[in-house]
Structure 1
């Protein structure tokens, strides 16, 4: 329900990316002046361009910018902002920021310090809600337990179990432990991640519920005692505890359970005098859908809030702002109705086919479709740079339909028409998940993605894609030609000489393409197969390639020696090889002929070394962890490629670039200092990956 009053004249958005853009959109609709904050890495970001005013708050490192409460509050006072909206992540659930806002006379658009304090600690929150009659998962309930105490508690709780950081959320730091022998390593990893992410390495243990479903309930509460819930969201499609696809309502719950879980969520909010928008998360057994357990409360806006907005017609950000200004809720529980079904997919800068390695780069081409029932929350813009400094989520594509089937079909169509060139992304992966029979049937659980991932068939560039790539380069040569002698293939008597192009696709071999003739009528040979082909540009970065009479629409953009191609949501990066590349590859093949595996361990992405597991001179075995690198909230543990003696070239806290050598393992008969360098990044199969902060 819209109201005419403007609660504040200026609001600072203490966040970045798509959520900052989304908040700015509502502020603009309310006639409120928006202030963006940015780090050095985000100077030209979309949220900076869309805000009415933007303030620099520090260097790229989040700890010195978006996680600096002092810098954010100072920016608010400098711009006369009356309130600060923290979005999600960063300081959104930070009681210190709420206190600093109060001290500065700035309204914190979020709950009070008591709610943040209780719900920000998983152990304390479980004890608190259990006393109010809300069911909780069996596990430890004592704070500040050391590893010995946790090991003893694990025997009482029973295996399998889940190690969880008490502070923070989003699944960060969680470790599944199935046997006592796995416990020490799980505790060490969870403590390290929790300490880095939240500054608090307190851990708790919970019984692991097999085949669980993740159901969460959206609540709104004002300062006058009114609390309502806006229904539930199904968030069971996760990978390593990070949500991938969310929907509302859940296909699991019946009306009776829906009412019970909604009332339980309201009781959780009521127990801490909650104010604003919040989400109460529950685990529901797939085998016993009428049985649910409290997990935690996220005292902030959730990433997946758009699906609730689409089925209820309620702008959650607007109500956050109005409640923070002291306005009463005009919503009543019996008047909140749900219409249709909504489903959301998160677009990430990552490479699902290769261990979900983070993607970085510059956006060369972008198409975000405008279609019926589709909403896109995005931070993308052409020319924007995606770095490894922050979370890899780039956008959210959300679809509404009259029923679940229509919503899924619309989402798939929207993803098929989404083009992002210049950055590795997961759009194809999202489409493959949506097509899985279990997903279509609503037969979900939090481990479904882990089960289906090995069977997902990612598309490879075919003859049409390689033909289009070669014809694009051919067209560039045709445009540069100023005489008959400089045309592709040159001028000669007799038969025309074909022009040769050579490409390398990630994980694939080199592909030779020969082109004879002109772009609009060419004879093309791809990997030995002759084709008739033509290429026509239909829009900027959009082309129609016709191969043997079959026309295909695709997008292409070139960035130096990289040529990006996208078709139906699938994108590929082709490396354009020249004679120097061919010579280097030949030399590398000759050098590698002495052994099947490179002794070098290279970082697959730019990032920070967060752990070194071996010292120079140690004897290691193939598969043994050597170095852990963090980038884009992901930890990547790099493993020894062979048995031998290791030389470690990095230390804890070092910044490493893409493809940097972090360690070298020499076979027993070869001293570590004499190994020859090998080209190419670390094999993704030799990397263990987990989510972090």
Structure 2
């Protein structure tokens, strides 16, 4: 076994690998970019080396391995995990690449070649071709069709096309993303199977000719073609179908001389259980923990032992599945804004863990910054139970106990998804999220109790108790009359609300809430006044509102207070009355100002100042974390201002353009 292993990755996967290395008594060497200089993986490894050129700098990684005395390099997933040039360069430098041979990566990394290879081995495949002409696309594939980068993975660059009219723009976008994300603009177009299930088989192979599978994972719950909930085993498969699909996956791995851990992905028609090979990921998968929890195996340890030349320690007959496991991916994204990436500084963090039941793989830490340089996945919460229903309940409880303040995440959305009737019934497909999106996406408005809590915190600056001298009370107290009302304007994602407070938070105060809205009209009795009391316990806020006590995680960032409860998080910013408090939150606004929907980089500017544009016409394409978002004109008019250029970094809500509507002076 190796004495030192260098991890050519970051974040939660780097920390997960460090955990196994530490258990095995192997020294861990980390690498980090300048943006990750203070990241957890760099702090927790035994030694860390700076990469001036970032995680894709192959030569710098090889030099780091030599400097740390590493014998092997574990690439994790993403970055260089499926890069044949990197695998070959490691071999040239005398380093063991903890992954399959370069030839297997090459064969399966090209989706076009991979389909031909496994088809020759008798594995069924989805009809498709490499950028066919219009006649072939219409006759052999048809619409809807799915465009995907031939060299890609993780859903990046995938575009669904439902008609020939959509094809040119879709090809342009997919090719640009493929070139940026994978260095190869070659595209594959396949028949799109409506509402299929996405089921993958975990395989393991050693250098002695042994190949086995560890059962399947159901990965049908997706948004933007990217997985968000995974589970093992699938609620669809019976033992016979599992055996057939497992055997097909083993044959696919054998067909390319595979060695190591890999995943064979299938599209499955839920009504018939017919399955088709989609692709093979020649690396560890993000969702590997669910397989570990139902098999009791450590896949990273098995990767290392196989890479060191050891035979697999078990045969197919020795694989046993016990119970059920479900994983939820926590992303820095805003479901209410089309799952656009977000960012910020982690102000408060709580991640639960119960040995044997709840596992959290995370790279987060308080004070860490989530930027737009890398994938928006922050962590994974994994739950085990003796059956599927109990695993889902345990996961829901774990997500409710997860707190991330300072960055908008998808935790509340994940809770809504795993408790959806279709999910609990196991009636899954890749279109479920889109069909039920309105019911799954939480409202952006802060409830009354959150508004009251935030007002108490912001208005009174954490006054814990009444001062001994009543003249020191900062609440407007004076002899002969009650305390005066003080009012602040709290701005949240869906607008601003004026909240009044009178009295001391610690001993009891009155809070005047804003009117409740029903449509466009206020309800009778709007603007009610409630009694509230605030207590603090470290980073925990206890608020008693009309006799009901609620517990919040709380963090401050200047005039903004973050409150978290049951997996939800709200950010409310204090404005003095009279200050402009109406921040535009979406791409198009009523005043013609077009703002960036996410922090990122301007990829393409598709208009010019002074140009006449129509409503919905593309103006700017913003890219973050290898995802593109096209910002369009909010109305017909003239581009009055265009203050950005290609390659420019922009913050969320930064002004990208101003469109003067037709008829405006």
TM-score higher than 0.5 here? yes
Q: 1:164 aligns with which of 139, 145, 148?
A: 148
What CA distance in whole angstroms lies between the structure 1 residues aligned with 2:222 and 2:175? 22
Do the aligned partners of 1:500 and 1:512 also contact (CA within 8 Å) in 2?
yes
Name which of structure 1's ranges 643-652 and 524-533 shifts more when overlaid on structure 2: 643-652
- Aligned residue in 1 for 2:590: 597
CA drift at 1:552: 1.1
CA drift at 1:522: 2.0
Matches within 5 A, 1:254-653: 254-289=238-273, 291-371=274-354, 373-456=357-440, 458-459=442-443, 460-473=445-458, 476=461, 478=463, 484-494=470-480, 495-527=482-514, 528-538=527-537, 540-579=538-577, 582-585=578-581, 597-646=590-639, 647-653=641-647
CA drift at 1:551: 1.1
CA drift at 1:545: 1.1
For residues 121-143 of structure 1, give each alpha carbon's deviation from its aligned partner in whole angstroms, at most 9, with x where no partner exists.
00000011101101000111x5x
Q: 1:660 aligns with which of 645, 654, 663?
A: 654
CA drift at 1:195: 1.1
- Aligned residue in 1 for 2:14: 20
CA drift at 1:483: 6.3
What CA distance in whole angstroms lies between the structure 2 residues aligned with 1:302 and 1:441? 26
- Aligned residue in 2 for 1:67: 56
CA drift at 1:355: 2.2
For residues 290-333 of structure 1, give each alpha carbon's deviation from its aligned partner in whole angstroms, at most 9, with x where no partner exists.
x1100100000000000000000000000111111111111110
Matches within 5 A, 1:3-82: 7-58=1-52, 64-82=53-71
Do the aligned partners of 1:151 and 1:183 also contact (CA within 8 Å) in 2?
no
**Paired residues, number:** 644
Q: 2:97 aligns with which of 87, 108, 113?
A: 108
- Aligned residue in 2 for 1:84: 73
What CA distance in whole angstroms lies between the structure 1 residues aligned with 2:468 and 2:610? 61
- Aligned residue in 2 for 1:201: 185
Alpha-carbon distance change, 322 to 524 in structure 1, aligned in 2, over 3 angstroms: same
Do the aligned partners of 2:177 and 2:626 also contact (CA within 8 Å) in 1?
no
- Aligned residue in 2 for 1:681: none
CA drift at 1:564: 0.4
Do the aligned partners of 1:471 and 1:515 also contact (CA within 8 Å) in 2?
no
Secondary structure of the corresponding residue to residue 134 of structure 1: coil
CA drift at 1:37: 0.7
What CA distance in whole angstroms lies between the structure 2 residues aligned with 1:134 and 1:560? 59
- Aligned residue in 2 for 1:687: none
Do the aligned partners of 2:229 and 2:329 also contact (CA within 8 Å) in 1?
yes
Alpha-carbon distance change, 281 to 596 in structure 1, aligned in 2, over 3 angstroms: closer
What CA distance in whole angstroms lies between the structure 2 residues aligned with 1:330 and 1:649? 61
What CA distance in whole angstroms lies between the structure 2 residues aligned with 1:150 and 1:326? 46
Do the aligned partners of 1:602 and 1:659 also contact (CA within 8 Å) in 2?
yes
- Structure 1 regions of 5+ residues with no counterpart? 1-6, 59-63, 590-594, 672-693
Alpha-carbon distance change, 335 to 200 in structure 1, aligned in 2, over 3 angstroms: same
For residues 163-208 of structure 1, give each alpha carbon's deviation from its aligned partner in whole angstroms, at most 9, with x where no partner exists.
1111111111111111111111111111111111111111121111
CA drift at 1:357: 2.5
CA drift at 1:429: 0.3
- Aligned residue in 1 for 2:175: 191
CA drift at 1:542: 1.0
For residues 636-684 of structure 1, give each alpha carbon's deviation from its aligned partner in whole angstroms, at most 9, with x where no partner exists.
110101111225333332322333322222234557xxxxxxxxxxxxx
What CA distance in whole angstroms lies between the structure 1 residues aligned with 2:135 and 2:177? 22
Alpha-carbon distance change, 317 to 654 in structure 1, aligned in 2, over 3 angstroms: same
- Structure 2 regions of 5+ residues with no counterpart? 515-526
Do the aligned partners of 1:488 and 1:499 also contact (CA within 8 Å) in 2?
no
For residues 604-629 of structure 1, give each alpha carbon's deviation from its aligned partner in whole angstroms, at most 9, with x where no partner exists.
33311222222333321111111110
CA drift at 1:411: 0.1
What CA distance in whole angstroms lies between the structure 1 residues aligned with 2:238 and 2:449? 49
What CA distance in whole angstroms lies between the structure 2 residues aligned with 1:649 and 1:584? 22
Do the aligned partners of 1:477 and 1:488 also contact (CA within 8 Å) in 2?
no
- With structure 1 as the length reference, what TM-score do the two structures score? 0.90
Do the aligned partners of 1:471 and 1:519 also contact (CA within 8 Å) in 2?
no
Do the aligned partners of 2:230 and 2:328 also contact (CA within 8 Å) in 1?
yes
What CA distance in whole angstroms lies between the structure 2 residues aligned with 1:390 and 1:367? 22
Alpha-carbon distance change, 477 to 256 in structure 1, aligned in 2, over 3 angstroms: closer
For residues 528-567 of structure 1, give each alpha carbon's deviation from its aligned partner in whole angstroms, at most 9, with x where no partner exists.
31212112223x2112211111111111111001110111
Do the aligned partners of 1:11 and 1:83 also contact (CA within 8 Å) in 2?
yes
Do the aligned partners of 2:204 and 2:212 also contact (CA within 8 Å) in 1?
yes
